């Protein structure tokens, strides 16, 4: 793949799996994530951001101020003082003129290079695999033809671990900051004297010429970071902070001949003391663990080796699914960025991005189940663990804690349960896991319910303790299906509870007071509001579950579930068909929502997507409705920037609909383009066999395809955004809430399984593409159950869909499913459409 489209701000380097930013003043700060295991960092294109260990709320290591002025300020800064001229390789915060700049956001690393007056400073920020630390590898090169003696000052500010406390409890926090300095390292030990047995260290592998640990000393009281005192003065003050704001700045002085280069690294590490004695002597901490870390990374080659390991790790991950298609946007997103983003959503859920401040909600039941759909092929074992963790937050009656804390794995009692779609997503994630792995043993795992107590037995293979006599995951799936069948309203459609997938459609909470939760305040007693989306989702989930039972050879169970399916399908068709599309819901008074009878919000996207995906409007006397519903979406909701959530947008607050009507027209759920649900329509068009429309729709929200309108789009062109402003907004097409969105997982599903048609099945890998007729084919490399498949799809007749011939390892086989060989070998597959 070649470097093709280019915006004013940068381009894709597909070969190196990098997005290359060529000017620092991007329309918004453009983010990358560092870290893949427990230690994570956010890193913007100007080296802004912060770091945490496992939990952005409770173990924040460095400090960041969200929505600051400018938006992105504070991070992993290097200040260069080159003969009195002060600048940063990442441009900010000094923003000196005549700094040549490049930022390469890659897989788990960001490399920022600046050059000014012939001095080049390249920094590679990354987290080594399986380490609880990050490395800033620096290379300083004198490209000029004169001797240069620059000084470099690092800068980052420590956070006091609990991010909310760090921000809000200043009358305490400004008094407790403590550090120690020894050798080339600053040890940040706030609260280590008392209940913490962990600390943060910042060290250099090169001997330092000085240090500062006091922000006041380094920056000043009235100074901004762009005019920090020390780098402009050229000399660290060796300040020892006491209270206020601890930082770590290390000074290095260089003397470089023309052409000379120097390399060294900074290490920012989270250290748990464990059983080691906490102190060497009163007030002096035992730093042996920290010193060992510094020693390890100071060894020649250690850092370069870790960079290689990181690259190999990502190569191994991404090579599980690689494609070559006629559309460069689809290819590069699937090959690199979409899978990369799926890793981020799996790791971060919705916790820490440029829009998520890391102290709010934990893991969402609904979110995380969906995130798994795009992640499960990357590290199935992690997916397995996650499914069990999520399932354990379901209650025995079938409802689920809507959120849970990743550290404690306990449900969040504040938000509670009663979102009546939550449980159904568990069926989808479990089915996806088994289809990917063939591992049916997950169904027998003793998971139990959050409202019951169990004895705890020994650790399982995954190192997690096993509950004794607890109900299995399969039991949870049964509970989930039967819960929806039980919880139904006057039309026989599922009750909606606090909300379904659309958190902002609040049919049971009539909130009149500002600051109330739209989802939880003023619950209507005994309300019978119903959700057609849940009905559609139920159809899909029930079908998945029935298929699973069939695969398990439990045909009676499959039949039983399909009876529920058929009952719900008939209900949907008789009660929820609005004439040209599916109604979205029925409110607490029994009136339709998303119907031609409404003045605003006549047609919603979600019920079209899920009813069609669930099999409605496809057969018997209802055949044709599916297509008609999608054509209605096209007519009323589709735009060149994606499908808006509903139309017409709500102009006033509707008490009976809640938060959806609280947004200005054209944003978020009020007729914004909510990319997540767009993908369901993409899949629905694939189901209809229209690959042209599926790809057209996909490209309308594809960030890679937005480079030519980047001043409007504003967000990163390499990851999906939660939302683009809809046609009712003055900023139509502007993207927001990039990175942490269900769009990541679902576009991976819609492109890889929908358009490219590579579908893991219980019994093998199905190939059922639905591509534009103009494509003459494409190829896919897919690892699946311990074998690698080199799949070539040929489209000699210019069709969208339909497999005419399937040849595996030279032998034609009937149908469209490749067997799971599980032989650790590579297999060639040729698929002919027609």
Of residues 74-133, which lie at the interface with a copy of itself (CB under 8 A)? 74, 92, 95
Residue 676 near a copy of itself by CB under 8 A: no
Nearest to 501, CA basis, from 569, 400, 425, 411: 425
Residue 243 near a copy of itself by CB under 8 A: yes
Quick one: which of 27, 118, 210, 492 contacts a copy of itself (CB under 8 A)? 27
Quick one: which of 39, 87, 153, 161 contacts a copy of itself (CB under 8 A)? 161
What count of other Cβ atoms lies within 10 Å of the Cβ of residue 718? 26
Quick one: which of 667, 735, 749, 820 contacts a copy of itself (CB under 8 A)? 667
Residue 274 near a copy of itself by CB under 8 A: no
Residue 412 near a copy of itself by CB under 8 A: no
Query: Which of 219/392 has CB closer to a copy of itself?
Result: 219
Window 605 to 634, contacts with a copy of itself (CB under 8 A): none
Quick one: which of 357, 473, 749, 771 contacts a copy of itself (CB under 8 A)? 357
Quick one: which of 2, 98, 145, 194 contacts a copy of itself (CB under 8 A)? 194
Quick one: which of 488, 636, 668, 676 contacts a copy of itself (CB under 8 A)? 668
Give the span between the Cα atoms of 761 and 437, in whole angstroms: 9
Quick one: which of 5, 38, 65, 416 contacts a copy of itself (CB under 8 A)? 65
Coil, strand or helix: which one is 392? coil
Residue 171 near a copy of itself by CB under 8 A: yes
User: Token pair of 561, please?
Assistant: 């579930």
Quick one: which of 8, 100, 149, 174 contacts a copy of itself (CB under 8 A)? 174
Give the span between the Cα atoms of 465 and 157, in whole angstroms: 38
Query: Which of 469/730 has CB closer to a copy of itself?
Result: 730
Note if the bond before 648 is cis, omega within 30 degrees: yes
Q: Which of 422, 500, 503, 690 is catalytic?
A: 503
Query: Which of 15/195 has CB closer to a copy of itself?
Result: 195
Nearest to 20, CA basis, from 98, 136, 91, 102: 102
C-alpha distances in angstroms, 438 versus 179, 390, 542, 545, 829?
52, 20, 19, 15, 21
Give the span between the Cα atoms of 443 and 439, in whole angstroms: 9
Residue 24 near a copy of itself by CB under 8 A: yes
Quick one: which of 96, 209, 699, 731 contacts a copy of itself (CB under 8 A)? 731
User: Cβ of residue 58: shortest distance to a copy of itself, in angstroms?
Assistant: 6
Residue 178 near a copy of itself by CB under 8 A: yes
Residue 170 near a copy of itself by CB under 8 A: yes
Residue 73 near a copy of itself by CB under 8 A: yes
User: Cβ of residue 56: shortest distance to a copy of itself, in angstroms?
Assistant: 12
**Contacts by 446-450 with C-beta closer than 8 Å and gap 24+?**
446/470, 446/471, 446/472, 447/388, 447/391, 447/392, 447/471, 447/472, 447/473, 447/475, 447/476, 448/392, 449/392, 449/394, 449/395, 449/396, 449/476, 450/392, 450/393, 450/394, 450/395, 450/401, 450/410, 450/411
Give the span between the Cα atoms of 482 and 564, in whole angstroms: 9
Residue 28 near a copy of itself by CB under 8 A: yes
Which one of 159-167, 542-550, 610-618, 822-830 is the stretch in contact with a copy of itself (CB under 8 A)?
159-167
Quick one: which of 11, 454, 653, 762 contacts a copy of itself (CB under 8 A)? 653
For residues 425-463, one letter each, b for 16 or more C-beta atoms within 10 angstroms of the residue's C-beta and e for the rest, the string is bbbbbbbbbbbbbbeeebbebbbbbbeeebeeeeeeeee
Residue 722 near a copy of itself by CB under 8 A: yes
Residue 664 near a copy of itself by CB under 8 A: yes
Query: Which of 74/290 has CB closer to a copy of itself?
Result: 74
Query: Which of 224/590 has CB closer to a copy of itself?
Result: 224
Quick one: which of 5, 118, 144, 193 contacts a copy of itself (CB under 8 A)? 193
Residue 736 near a copy of itself by CB under 8 A: yes
Binding mask 431-460 for a copy of itself (x = CB under 8 A): ------------------------------
Quick one: which of 14, 18, 72, 131 contacts a copy of itself (CB under 8 A)? 72
Which one of 21-29, 253-261, 463-471, 608-616 is the stretch in contact with a copy of itself (CB under 8 A)?
21-29
Quick one: which of 84, 274, 282, 301 contacts a copy of itself (CB under 8 A)? 282
Residue 559 near a copy of itself by CB under 8 A: no
For residues 743-766, one letter each, b for 16 or more C-beta atoms within 10 angstroms of the residue's C-beta and e for the rest, the string is bbbbbbbbbbbbbbbbbbbbebbb
SS3 letters for 249-278?
A: EEEEECCECCCCEEEEEEEEEEEECCCCCC
Quick one: which of 240, 320, 382, 634 contacts a copy of itself (CB under 8 A)? 240
Phi, psi values for residue 451, rounded to 5°: -95, 5
Residue 408 near a copy of itself by CB under 8 A: no
Give the span between the Cα atoms of 10 and 7, in whole angstroms: 5
The enclosing H or E element of 605 equals: none
Window 195 to 234, contacts with a copy of itself (CB under 8 A): 195-196, 215, 219-226
Task: Clarify whether 503 is annotated catalytic.
Answer: yes
User: Cβ of residue 812: shortest distance to a copy of itself, in angstroms?
Assistant: 51
User: Cβ of residue 499: shortest distance to a copy of itself, in angstroms?
Assistant: 14
Angle in degrees, 0-180, between the axes of helices 422-437 and 365-375, rounded to the nearest 10: 20
C-alpha distances in angstroms, 106 versus 35, 420, 755?
12, 39, 26
Which one of 69-77, 311-319, 459-467, 540-548 is the stretch in contact with a copy of itself (CB under 8 A)?
69-77
In the block, which residue shows the tokens 């190829």? 779
Phi, psi values for residue 710, rounded to 5°: -70, -25
Residue 416 near a copy of itself by CB under 8 A: no
The enclosing H or E element of 306 equals: helix 302-318
Coil, strand or helix: which one is 158? strand
Question: 261-272 and 31-34: which strand pairing?
Answer: unpaired
User: Cβ of residue 87: shortest distance to a copy of itself, in angstroms?
Assistant: 15
Nearest to 768, CA basis, from 747, 784, 752: 752
Query: Which of 66/551 has CB closer to a copy of itself?
Result: 66
Nearest to 707, CA basis, from 4, 1, 2: 4
Residues 505, 510, 514: CA angle, nearest 5 degrees: 95
Window 487 to 546, contacts with a copy of itself (CB under 8 A): 511-516
Coil, strand or helix: which one is 571? helix
Query: Which of 528/714 has CB closer to a copy of itself?
Result: 714
Give the span between the Cα atoms of 449 and 475, in whole angstroms: 10
Query: Which of 2/730 has CB closer to a copy of itself?
Result: 730
Residue 356 near a copy of itself by CB under 8 A: yes
Which one of 129-137, 364-372, 454-462, 651-659 is the stretch in contact with a copy of itself (CB under 8 A)?
651-659
User: How long, in residues, is the chain?
Assistant: 834
Quick one: which of 99, 127, 359, 683 contacts a copy of itself (CB under 8 A)? 359
Which one of 324-332, 551-559, 658-666, 750-758 is the stretch in contact with a copy of itself (CB under 8 A)?
658-666
Quick one: which of 412, 506, 737, 801 contacts a copy of itself (CB under 8 A)? 737
**Largest interatomic CA distance in the chain:** 84
C-alpha distances in angstroms, 439 versus 34, 243, 303, 403, 545?
31, 54, 38, 27, 15
Note if the bond before 70 is cis, omega within 30 degrees: yes
Query: Which of 58/303 has CB closer to a copy of itself?
Result: 58
Which one of 100-108, 154-162, 287-295, 444-452 is the stretch in contact with a copy of itself (CB under 8 A)?
154-162
Residue 242 near a copy of itself by CB under 8 A: yes
What amino acid positions are annotated as catalytic residues? 503
């Amino acid at each position: 793949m070649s470097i093709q489209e280019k915006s004013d701000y940068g381009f894709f380097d597909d070969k190196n799996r990098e997005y290359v930013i060529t000017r620092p003043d991007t329309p918004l700060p453009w983010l990358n994530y560092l870290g893949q295991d427990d230690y994570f960092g956010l890193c913007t294109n100007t080296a802004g951001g912060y770091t945490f260990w496992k939990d952005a709320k409770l173990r924040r290591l460095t400090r960041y101020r969200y929505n600051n002025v400018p938006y992105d300020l504070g991070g992993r800064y290097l200040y260069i003082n080159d003969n009195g001229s002060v600048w940063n390789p990442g441009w900010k915060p000094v923003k000196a003129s005549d700094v040549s700049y490049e930022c390469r956001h890659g897989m788990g690393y960001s490399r920022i290079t600046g050059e000014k007056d012939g001095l080049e400073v390249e920094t590679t920020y990354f987290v080594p695999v399986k380490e609880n630390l990050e490395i800033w590898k620096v290379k300083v090169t004198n490209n000029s033809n004169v001797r240069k003696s620059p000084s470099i000052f690092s800068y980052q500010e420590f956070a006091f671990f609990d991010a909310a406390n760090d921000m809000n409890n200043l009358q305490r926090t400004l008094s407790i900051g403590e550090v120690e300095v020894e050798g080339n390292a600053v040890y940040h030990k706030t609260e280590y004297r008392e209940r913490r047995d962990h600390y943060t260290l910042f060290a250099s592998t090169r001997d330092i010429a000085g240090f500062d640990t006091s922000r006041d000393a380094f920056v000043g009281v009235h100074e901004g970071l762009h005019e920090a005192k020390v780098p402009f003065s050229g000399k660290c003050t060796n300040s020892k902070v006491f209270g206020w704001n601890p930082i770590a700045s290390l000074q290095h002085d260089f003397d470089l001949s023309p052409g000379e280069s120097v390399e060294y690294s900074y290490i920012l590490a989270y250290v748990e003391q464990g059983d080691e004695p906490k102190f060497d002597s009163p007030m002096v901490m035992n730093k042996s663990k920290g010193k060992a870390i510094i020693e390890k990374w100071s060894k020649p080659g250690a850092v370069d080796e870790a960079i290689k390991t990181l690259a190999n790790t990502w190569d191994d991950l991404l090579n599980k699914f690689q494609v070559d298609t006629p559309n460069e946007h689809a290819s590069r997103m699937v090959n690199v960025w979409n899978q990369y983003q799926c890793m981020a959503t799996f790791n971060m859920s919705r916790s820490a991005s440029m829009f998520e401040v890391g102290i709010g909600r934990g893991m969402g039941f609904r979110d995380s189940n969906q995130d798994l759909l795009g992640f499960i092929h990357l590290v199935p074992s992690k997916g397995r663990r996650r499914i069990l963790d999520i399932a354990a937050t379901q209650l025995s009656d079938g409802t689920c804690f809507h959120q849970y804390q990743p550290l404690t794995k306990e449900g969040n009692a504040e938000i509670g349960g009663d979102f009546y779609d939550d449980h159904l997503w568990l069926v989808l994630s479990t089915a996806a896991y088994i289809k990917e792995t063939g591992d049916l043993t997950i169904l027998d795992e003793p998971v139990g319910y959050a409202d019951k107590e169990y004895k705890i037995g020994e650790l399982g293979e995954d190192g997690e303790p096993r509950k004794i006599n607890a109900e299995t995951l399969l039991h949870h799936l049964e509970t989930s299906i039967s819960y929806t069948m039980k919880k139904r309203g006057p039309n026989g459609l599922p009750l909606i509870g606090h909300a379904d997938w659309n958190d902002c459609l609040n049919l049971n909470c009539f909130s009149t007071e500002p600051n109330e939760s739209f989802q939880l305040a003023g619950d209507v007693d005994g309300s019978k509001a119903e959700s057609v989306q849940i009905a559609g989702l139920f159809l899909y989930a029930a079908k998945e579950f029935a298929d699973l039972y069939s695969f398990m050879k439990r045909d009676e169970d499959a039949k039983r579930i399909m009876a529920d399916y058929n009952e719900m399908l008939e209900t949907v068709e008789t009660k929820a068909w609005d004439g040209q599309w599916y109604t979205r819901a029925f409110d607490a008074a029994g009136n339709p929502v998303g119907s031609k009878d409404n003045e605003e919000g006549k047609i919603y996207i979600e019920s079209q997507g899920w009813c069609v995906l669930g099999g409605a409007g496809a057969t018997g006397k209802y055949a044709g409705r599916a297509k008609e519903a999608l054509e209605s979406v096209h007519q009323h909701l589709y735009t060149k920037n994606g499908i808006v959530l509903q139309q017409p947008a709500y102009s006033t607050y509707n008490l009976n609909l809640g938060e959806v009507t609280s947004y200005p027209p054209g944003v978020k759920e009020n007729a914004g383009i909510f990319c997540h649900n767009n993908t369901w329509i993409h899949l629905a068009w694939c189901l209809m066999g229209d690959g042209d429309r599926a790809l057209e729709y996909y490209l309308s929200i594809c960030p890679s395809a937005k480079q030519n309108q980047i001043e409007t789009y504003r967000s990163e062109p390499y990851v999906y955004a939660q939302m683009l402003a809809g046609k009712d907004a003055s900023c139509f097409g502007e993207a927001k809430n990039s990175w942490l969105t269900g769009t990541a997982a679902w576009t991976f599903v819609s492109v890889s399984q929908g358009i490219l048609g590579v579908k893991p099945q219980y019994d093998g890998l199905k190939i059922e593409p639905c591509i534009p007729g103009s494509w003459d084919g494409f190829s896919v490399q897919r690892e699946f159950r311990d074998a690698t498949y080199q799949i070539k799809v040929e489209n000699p007749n210019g069709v969208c869909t339909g497999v005419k011939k399937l040849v595996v390892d030279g032998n034609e086989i009937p149908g469209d499913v490749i067997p799971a060989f599980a032989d650790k070998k590579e297999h060639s597959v040729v698929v002919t459409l027609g």
